[in-house]
């Protein structure tokens, strides 16, 4: 006799043998005992979790000949049970709906359903992959399914219940099957390995259960293949090579390199794996699963029941979870999900995988937006600081204000304290008056602000305070100012209207700002000064002066040339520029004031 695979050899023959679907088997057994069986059932769920098996067991219970009425559990030895188990029963017809999906096949089924069963109590139709049936065929089946003859029972098995029309679903009892839990698959594999007298390590069986991904049939199919490939004993390394999985220790090494920000170590690990023949797509999928488990371990703990992994894998994800915050792990998971999705249709899969891992390494240098916004509302510090260390910043407010203690807490500090389980630190105003205030660092590496408005690179060491009041650059010589004027006007040759307006203006350099006052209103300036022209002027001025500068074109000249509203806006602009929060936003994000609206004047 030919060999029979484990999935068929150990197929459940009773409701008590079905694992992971107690909510379904219990309901069906109670219905059989009470004589309340329906004429139509829909069994939906993941592949390989027992939909067709439960349909066959229910058919055996309905037609079992060991009793004169349906039983809660079939005997398994009568002619009817034996024929249904072998798949050759005359009164239990299994139909592949993927190939018999048209209206003609359904018409034949409807005609055959009128005749009584040849021998058993019920004529049972089991339609596998029922979602493949066409809408016209479903419509032809509606009347028969709603009011079938008393001897007919329909059972529809499907993996996509949403594709079955609502008119069909409303006429049947719908049972949603669940994915089998990791512990249940592992226990079944241990039992079958003992029955087959196969020596297997627990780690190897755990890998098989994880590879099954909630499907008992998939796990048994891989177990069959693993038994054929091993030499006497089933080991974790043999299973890992069989399924093409990277060692879990390698995944941990990758995340440790990411935590250290070591791009070179990440690339070397990927190169080693791909040189050994691992698939980039499969490795990306493993990284996604590993990061998901790490996020769960960070949020719910390493012993959480949400982790469907072995004990060794729990320890690995718990160690990795200690290296990152919850926000960092969520960001890494999002990056790998996007990378895994791109690998399916990209040509150079290795390059995209490496790019995704490098993004994870660089993401360690990003600062949360909440922190930047909370710092923007704080008083501006006059001394640049090294982001990697606490900076001692003198508190200037203490010079003009009496000693006071404030209990304000920034939103970012409060949220970080909530997730860390510690009390939030109070605002830096809590420092003694006149003394230095400590600005703590959030990340050990240099923060990065992304976007086109990112400020210039911050110095690694805090420079000494400038001797000048505002730390401004020295004013250029008159000859240098003339060269600056000529160079900027030449760069704007492609914008004659703007160049003509600027040529008659008053030019001066104030620190790192090139200020040009022109005899025009603010509205005319906004209309003439486009983004391209402004970039050209700033680039030219920065090249001539040898340092980054900003361009400010302001309405100026005599009072006759400036409308009253523009003049009033000049005062509003001055007040806005002196506002501490606005100055902080300009420093953090490189923002600039474009328009001033005086609401008092409008009223």
The band of 364, judged by pLDDT with boundaries at 50, 70 and 90, is confident
H/E stretch holding 588? helix 580-589
What are the distances in angstroms from CA 431 to CA 66, 151, 177? 87, 86, 61
Q: Residue range 205-214: average pLDDT?
A: 87
H/E stretch holding 349? helix 349-363
Q: Give helix then strand counts, H and E, for the chain.
A: 26, 12
- Inform me whether the pLDDT recorded for 407 exceeds 60: no
CA 480 to chain centre: 54
Q: In this structure, how many other beta carbons lie within 10 angstroms of the beta carbon of residue 386?
A: 14
The band of 455, judged by pLDDT with boundaries at 50, 70 and 90, is very low
- Inform me whether the pLDDT recorded for 229 exceeds 80: yes
Which stretches of 317-467 are assigned E, i.e. beta strand? 391-394, 436-439
Higher-pLDDT residue of 282 and 586 is 282
Higher-pLDDT residue of 575 and 416 is 575
Q: What is the pLDDT of residue 417?
A: 60
Q: Residue range 59-81: average pLDDT?
A: 90
- Inform me whether the pLDDT recorded for 325 exceeds 50: yes
C-beta of residue 91 within 8 angstroms of C-beta of residue 122: yes
H/E stretch holding 233? strand 233-234
The band of 411, judged by pLDDT with boundaries at 50, 70 and 90, is low
Comparing CA positions, the residue from 122, 153, 202, 134 lying closest to residue 41 is: 153
The band of 308, judged by pLDDT with boundaries at 50, 70 and 90, is confident
C-beta of residue 156 within 8 angstroms of C-beta of residue 51: no
The band of 452, judged by pLDDT with boundaries at 50, 70 and 90, is very low
Q: Residue range 464-476: average pLDDT?
A: 48
pLDDT in tens, 544-570: 888 888 888 888 654 344 444 444 444
Higher-pLDDT residue of 502 and 53 is 53
C-beta of residue 51 within 8 angstroms of C-beta of residue 157: yes
Q: What is the pLDDT of residue 440?
A: 44
- Inform me whether the pLDDT recorded for 349 exceeds 50: yes
| Most confident of the following: 49-58, 195-204, 210-219 | 49-58
The band of 470, judged by pLDDT with boundaries at 50, 70 and 90, is very low
Mean pLDDT of the chain: 79
Strand 152-158, strand 123-128: pairing: parallel
- In the numeric block, the tokens 């520029």 are attached to 577
pTM for the whole structure: 0.58
- Inform me whether the pLDDT recorded for 513 exceeds 90: no
The band of 347, judged by pLDDT with boundaries at 50, 70 and 90, is confident
Higher-pLDDT residue of 496 and 12 is 12
Which segment of 468-482, 495-509, 512-526 scores lowest on mean pLDDT? 468-482
- Inform me whether the pLDDT recorded for 201 exceeds 90: no
Residues 6+ apart with CB under 8 A from 6: 192, 196, 220, 221, 223, 224
Q: Residue range 447-469: average pLDDT?
A: 42
The band of 25, judged by pLDDT with boundaries at 50, 70 and 90, is very high
What are the distances in angstroms from CA 148 to CA 116, 123, 156, 171, 420? 12, 11, 15, 11, 62
- Inform me whether the pLDDT recorded for 497 exceeds 50: yes
- In the numeric block, the tokens 């680039």 are attached to 539
- Inform me whether the pLDDT recorded for 43 exceeds 90: yes
H/E stretch holding 553? strand 550-555
Q: Residue range 365-380: average pLDDT?
A: 66
Q: What is the pLDDT of residue 588?
A: 74
The band of 405, judged by pLDDT with boundaries at 50, 70 and 90, is very low
**Conformation bin of residue 3: beta by default, left when phi > 0, alpha when psi is -120 to 50:** beta
Cα–Cα dist 302/352, whole Å: 31
Which stretches of 36-97 are assigned E, i.e. beta strand? 40-44, 92-96
- Inform me whether the pLDDT recorded for 13 exceeds 80: yes
Gyration radius from the chain CA atoms: 37
Q: What is the pLDDT of residue 94?
A: 92
- In the numeric block, the tokens 């990152």 are attached to 324
Of all residues in the chain, the percent with pLDDT exceeding 70 is 78
- Inform me whether the pLDDT recorded for 247 exceeds 50: yes
Which segment of 6-10, 176-180, 377-381, 517-521 scores lowest on mean pLDDT? 377-381
Higher-pLDDT residue of 102 and 520 is 102
Q: What is the pLDDT of residue 60?
A: 94
- Inform me whether the pLDDT recorded for 580 exceeds 90: no
Which tokens sit at 117? 């069963």
Task: Looking at 261-300, list the stretches that DSSP marks H as alpha helix, in order from N- to C-terminal side.
Answer: 263-275, 280-300
Which segment of 48-52, 112-116, 163-167, 376-380 scores lowest on mean pLDDT? 376-380
Comparing CA positions, the residue from 513, 514, 547 lying closest to residue 502 is: 514
Cα–Cα dist 205/239, whole Å: 9
Q: What is the pLDDT of residue 437?
A: 40
DSSP category for residue 99: T
Higher-pLDDT residue of 435 and 592 is 592
Which stretches of 291-424 are assigned E, i.e. beta strand? 391-394
The band of 518, judged by pLDDT with boundaries at 50, 70 and 90, is confident
CB-neighbour burial class of residue 503 (10 A; exposed 0-12, middle 13-18, buried 19+) = middle
Orientation of helix 280-300 relative to helix 263-275, angle to 10°: 130
Which segment of 63-67, 165-169, 431-435 scores lowest on mean pLDDT? 431-435
- Inform me whether the pLDDT recorded for 404 exceeds 70: no
**What domains does the chain contain, in order, with CATH numbers?**
6-176 (3.40.50.300), 182-243 (1.10.8.60), 248-363 (1.20.272.10), 478-602 (3.30.300.180)
Q: Residue range 257-281: average pLDDT?
A: 89
Higher-pLDDT residue of 290 and 233 is 290
The band of 476, judged by pLDDT with boundaries at 50, 70 and 90, is low
pLDDT in tens, 413-440: 555 565 555 444 444 444 444 444 444 4
The band of 153, judged by pLDDT with boundaries at 50, 70 and 90, is very high
Higher-pLDDT residue of 310 and 138 is 138
What are the distances in angstroms from CA 135 to CA 23, 328, 468, 542, 596? 31, 47, 82, 69, 62
Q: What is the pLDDT of residue 378?
A: 55
Q: Residue range 134-149: average pLDDT?
A: 90
Residue-wise burial string across 473-501, b where 16 or more C-beta atoms lie within 10 A, e elsewhere: beebeeeebeebbebbbebbeebeebbeb
């Amino acid at each position: 006799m030919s060999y029979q695979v484990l999935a068929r050899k150990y197929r459940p023959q009773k409701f008590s043998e079905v694992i992971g679907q107690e909510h379904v088997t219990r309901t069906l057994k109670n219905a059989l005992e009470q004589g309340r069986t329906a004429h139509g059932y829909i069994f939906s769920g993941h592949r390989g979790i027992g939909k067709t098996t439960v349909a066959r067991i229910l058919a055996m219970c309905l037609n079992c000949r060991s009793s004169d009425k349906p039983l809660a559990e079939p005997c398994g030895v009568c002619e009817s049970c034996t024929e249904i188990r072998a798949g050759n029963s005359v009164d239990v017809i299994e139909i592949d709906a993927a190939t018999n999906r048209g209206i003609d096949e359904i018409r034949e089924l409807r005609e055959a359903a009128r005749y009584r069963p040849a021998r058993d109590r019920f004529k049972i139709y089991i339609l596998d992959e029922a979602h493949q049936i066409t809408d016209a065929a479903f419509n032809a089946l509606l009347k028969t399914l709603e009011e079938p003859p008393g001897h007919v029972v329909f059972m529809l098995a499907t993996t996509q219940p949403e594709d079955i029309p609502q008119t069909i679903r409303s006429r049947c009892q719908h049972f949603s099957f669940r994915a089998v839990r990791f512990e249940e698959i592992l226990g079944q594999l241990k039992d079958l390995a003992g029955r087959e007298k196969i020596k297997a390590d627990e780690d190897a069986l755990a890998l098989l259960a994880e590879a099954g991904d909630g499907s008992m049939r998939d796990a048994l199919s891989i177990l069959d293949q693993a038994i054929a490939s091993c030499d006497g004993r089933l080991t974790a390394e043999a299973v890992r090579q069989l399924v093409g999985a990277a060692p879990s220790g390698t995944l941990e090494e990758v995340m440790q390199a990411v935590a250290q920000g070591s791009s070179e170590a990440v690339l070397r690990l990927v190169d080693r794996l791909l040189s050994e023949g691992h698939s980039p797509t499969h490795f990306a999928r493993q990284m996604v699963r590993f990061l998901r488990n790490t996020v769960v371990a960070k949020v719910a703990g390493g012993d959480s029941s949400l982790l469907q992994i072995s004990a060794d894998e729990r320890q690995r994800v718990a160690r990795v979870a200690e290296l990152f915050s919850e926000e960092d792990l969520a960001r890494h998971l999002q990056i790998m999900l996007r990378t895994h999705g791109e690998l399916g249709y990209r040509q150079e899969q290795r390059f995209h995988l490496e790019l995704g891992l490098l993004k994870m390494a660089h993401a360690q240098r990003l600062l949360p937006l909440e922190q930047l916004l909370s710092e923007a509302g704080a008083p501006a510090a006059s001394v640049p600081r090294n982001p990697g260390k606490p900076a001692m910043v003198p508190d200037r407010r203490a010079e003009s204000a009496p000693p006071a203690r404030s209990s304000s807490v920034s939103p970012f500090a409060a949220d970080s304290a909530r997730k860390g389980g510690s009390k939030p630190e109070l605002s830096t105003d809590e420092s003694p008056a006149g003394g230095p205030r400590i600005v703590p660092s959030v990340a050990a590496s240099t923060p990065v602000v992304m976007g086109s408005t990112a400020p210039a690179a911050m110095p690694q060491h805090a420079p000494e305070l400038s001797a000048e009041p505002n730390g401004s650059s020295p004013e250029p010589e008159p000859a240098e100012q003339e060269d600056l004027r000529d160079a900027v006007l030449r760069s704007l040759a492609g914008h004659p209207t703007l160049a003509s307006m600027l040529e008659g203006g008053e030019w001066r350099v104030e620190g790192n700002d090139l200020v040009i006052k022109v005899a025009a209103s603010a509205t005319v300036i906004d209309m003439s000064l486009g983004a391209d022209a402004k970039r050209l002027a700033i680039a030219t001025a920065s090249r001539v002066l040898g340092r980054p500068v900003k361009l400010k074109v302001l309405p100026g000249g005599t009072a006759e040339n400036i409308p009253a509203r523009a003049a009033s806006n000049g005062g509003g602009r001055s007040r806005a520029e002196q506002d501490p929060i606005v100055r902080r936003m300009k420093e953090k994000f490189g923002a600039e004031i474009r328009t001033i609206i005086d609401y008092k004047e409008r009223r």
